[in-house]
Structure 1
Amino acid sequence: MKFETIQVASNARIGTITFNRPDKLNAINRTLMAEVTQALSAFNDDSEILAIVVNGNGRAFSAGFDMKESSERGTPDLAQWGNILKADFDFIMQFWDSPKPTIAAVHGYCLAGAFELALACDVTIAAQGTRFGEPEVRFGSGIIAMLLPWVAGPKAAKELLLTGTDDVDAERALALGIVNNVVESGKQLEEAYRIAGAMAAAAPLSVQMTKRAINRSYDVMGLRSALFEGLNTDILIEATGGPERAEFNHIRKEQGLKAALKWRDERFA
């Protein structure tokens, strides 16, 4: 398989998906979504692959969904937002739903949709210096996959999501249970492979059935229903907009994305 926005490799029963838009901080666009889905599906179907690692080239794991691409959509209506965000939701949750263990090796920035993707993976390894967060509420947007309350608890989720902070460091992420291990910068992929190798060396059926049982326990507690409720809320937020969104979009259209992000961040300086 040849791809435009990702690199794919397999070795020692481990499949690797690498985001490869380093000049865009690996922002997640529709092409990357389609290519990741194709690669992950192939790994899921390959009996020789027993664990899957996802990481990013360049300065960041990923800064989240591509805001430039989003701005080119115009003004979607409620039904169109539903289709867009359901596709985003499915993209994130395929890592949770993969029958095989998924491990995220993150560095640099791990923000917004990419943060949710890392939460959806079974294990997350962070390099020192990684910054986490979801700034959506700062410019009138919402959360696609509301996984954070299930991973870090409601207190932490409310603090992080209601302030829209995007500068949670790796050490605090570790304390909150958002990541499993923090390692020296540049060592995150090595650590991810170490854990993936241990999982791949175990009995495949036992590993996959145990992952399924853990996920099923969360479904019994209502995770899937809660996530769908969160998604429906996000659809309403995106379709309704608001003065902050209108101003953000106006600045983005007239002066560019960097100016819009500067306006967003200066309001919270």
Structure 2
Amino acid sequence: MDYQTLIVAVDGKVATVTLNRPDVRNAFNETTIAEITQVFRELGQNADVRTIVLAANGPAFCAGADLNWMKKMAGYTHEENRADAAQLAEMLHTIYTCPKPVVAKVQGDCYAGGMGLVAACDIAVAVEATNFCLSEVKLGLIPATISPYVILATGENAARRYFLTAERFSAQEAHRTGFVHQVVAADALDATVADIVKALVANSPNAVKEAKRLVQDVAGQPLTAELIADTAERIADIRSSEEGKEGVRSFLEKRKPNWLN
């Protein structure tokens, strides 16, 4: 379908979703939110797609909320604000729970809600000149809907500082806190993301999906008998799956598994 705020391209096993509002630094509005939610649902169910890259056109990755959208929100009732925020929360959760791995390709500055987009992805690569900022408190707001994802990505201690100060911080600082996985020169961004995508599509699609869910379900959980039993059940399930059996057979027979054909 045609999108007003995105460019969506599928090349073989890789889909690229590109934010395409460079004139407003890829700030998002209700249309962007609806389109991102829809496309990630569709790509998540597309059996031909193995991984998704979230990218952006122009000098900035995403400046957060669009100013015209914010002006409209200023006149909303509490109930209207709640419904509006719920749509943003749904978009972030759709990216986070997408059964396909999602790689954020951050080519420029990333502020406020844009940081939520990156945090909801599985892997994030940023160019070394990128600035990040959680600027909400400067406007009398808080980064509420993005907070579960940003805190998971950057850690509680760093979130406490940057949620409260609204300071800009560098890609190197984002890497130090764990918010991004890798920082590269601008001319190395395409190749770096391509290498990550190549590694992702080489793996068992079902195992990648289940490994993503494993991290989400196990992270932060106490080491209880129930958790141990759950992980044992998961490995039993994956070993007895078709791809699990094929992966072991292909390894023992020294051939490529059938998902690479």
Structure 1 unaligned spans of 5+: 222-269
Root-mean-square deviation (Å): 1.5
Which position in structure 2 is the counterpart of 1:2?
Answer: 2
What SS class does the counterpart of residue 7 from structure 1 fall into?
Answer: strand
After TM superposition, give the deviation of residue 31 of structure 1 in Å.
1.4
1:91-148 deviations in whole A, cap 9, x for unaligned? 1221111011011001221111110110110000001111111110111011122133
What SS class does the counterpart of residue 46 from structure 1 fall into?
Answer: coil
Task: Give the 3 Å change call, closer, same or farther, for CA 93–18 of structure 1 in structure 2.
Answer: same
Which position in structure 1 is the counterpart of 2:208?
Answer: 207
Which position in structure 1 is the counterpart of 2:109?
Answer: 109
Which position in structure 2 is the counterpart of 1:66?
Answer: 66
Distance, in Å, in 2 between the alignment partners of 1:5 and 1:25 is: 12
Distance, in Å, in 1 between the alignment partners of 2:60 and 2:200 is: 26
After TM superposition, give the deviation of residue 220 of structure 1 in Å.
4.7
1:41-90 deviations in whole A, cap 9, x for unaligned? 22111101010000100111110121221202342222211111111111
- Contact 1:53–1:193 under 8 Å retained in 2: no
What SS class does the counterpart of residue 39 from structure 1 fall into?
Answer: helix
Distance, in Å, in 1 between the alignment partners of 2:65 and 2:36 is: 14
What SS class does the counterpart of residue 187 from structure 1 fall into?
Answer: helix
Supply the AA of the counterpart residue of 1:30: E
Which position in structure 1 is the counterpart of 2:155?
Answer: 153
Number of positions where the alignment pairs a residue of Structure 1 with one of Structure 2:
220
Task: Give the 3 Å change call, closer, same or farther, for CA 3–148 of structure 1 in structure 2.
Answer: closer
Residues 62-211 of structure 1: matches in 2 within 5 Å?
Answer: 62-143=62-143, 144-146=145-147, 147-165=149-167, 167-211=168-212
Distance, in Å, in 1 between the alignment partners of 2:46 and 2:161 is: 41
Task: Give the 3 Å change call, closer, same or farther, for CA 148–32 of structure 1 in structure 2.
Answer: closer
Structure 2 unaligned spans of 5+: 223-261
After TM superposition, give the deviation of residue 152 of structure 1 in Å.
2.3
Q: Does 1:27 align with 2:19?
A: no
After TM superposition, give the deviation of residue 27 of structure 1 in Å.
0.7
Distance, in Å, in 1 between the alignment partners of 2:51 and 2:198 is: 8
What SS class does the counterpart of residue 52 from structure 2 fall into?
Answer: strand
Distance, in Å, in 2 between the alignment partners of 1:21 and 1:50 is: 26
After TM superposition, give the deviation of residue 188 of structure 1 in Å.
2.2
After TM superposition, give the deviation of residue 155 of structure 1 in Å.
1.6
Supply the AA of the counterpart residue of 1:56: A
After TM superposition, give the deviation of residue 14 of structure 1 in Å.
0.7
What SS class does the counterpart of residue 18 from structure 1 fall into?
Answer: strand
Which position in structure 2 is the counterpart of 1:55?
Answer: 55
Distance, in Å, in 2 between the alignment partners of 1:4 and 1:150 is: 31
Which has the higher relative contact order, 1 or 2, with Cα contacts under 8 A spaced 6 or more apart? 1
What SS class does the counterpart of residue 73 from structure 2 fall into?
Answer: coil
Q: Which TM-score applies when normalising by structure 1?
A: 0.78
What SS class does the counterpart of residue 105 from structure 2 fall into?
Answer: strand
After TM superposition, give the deviation of residue 150 of structure 1 in Å.
2.3
1:145-164 deviations in whole A, cap 9, x for unaligned? 21333222222111111001
Report percent identity of matched pairs: 29
What SS class does the counterpart of residue 58 from structure 1 fall into?
Answer: coil
Q: Which TM-score applies when normalising by structure 2?
A: 0.80
Supply the AA of the counterpart residue of 2:197: A
